[in-house]
Amino acid sequence: MAAPLVIAGLLATSTIVSIVGSRKAAKQEESARRRQAALLDEQAAEVVRRARVNADLIRDQGKRTSASQRVAFAEGGVDVGSGSALATQVDTILTANKIALKEKLNAERDADLIRMGADVQREVGAGARSAQKTSEIGTLLSGGASIAGAFKKG
């Protein structure tokens, strides 16, 4: 009778070790996925921040270019406050503003895609924990069946 008890003890120990290992692996997987998601969230924020800076630089460049045009027109004796001279200056600023807006919109789109990737990482991490719990039930049932088989043979 001692042999079945030893075998049952070994099977129970094996089952417990398997479950503990599975839990640790799932926790590590979830933790790694959360860290990856946090990095992606930071990357998305940086993309948006960089686009804002770039948009400001583009608008500033448009203002400088418009001012240079104004000076060039004035030096040439052209009335800078009306006609094509004024239209050229306004168009320069509007074009710069459009480019700046496009820069920000593109960055927001890119950031949204990056954030979606972060969300996927979080979901995969949570899924690993969920799958581990289901696997744990199977391991317990299998271990229980093996232990019962050890007693039946003994």
For the cut 90, the answer to whether the pLDDT of residue 132 exceeds it is no
For the cut 60, the answer to whether the pLDDT of residue 1 exceeds it is no
Reported confidence tier of residue 14, pLDDT bands at 50, 70, 90: confident
The answer to whether 139 and 23 are in contact (CB under 8 A) is: no
- pLDDT tens digit string along 39-60? 999 999 999 999 999 999 999 9
Give the distance from CA 131 to its chain's centroid: 22
Mean of the pLDDT values across residues 117-129? 92
Of residues 102 and 2, which shows the higher confidence score?
A: 102
Chain-wide mean pLDDT for the chain?
Answer: 90
Q: Where are the domains of the chain?
A: 12-144
Of residues 4 and 22, which shows the higher confidence score?
A: 22
For the cut 90, the answer to whether the pLDDT of residue 3 exceeds it is no
| Both structure tokens of 66 | 């418009």
Task: Please give the pLDDT value at position 2.
Answer: 66
Give the distance from CA 102 to its chain's centroid: 22
For the cut 70, the answer to whether the pLDDT of residue 154 exceeds it is no
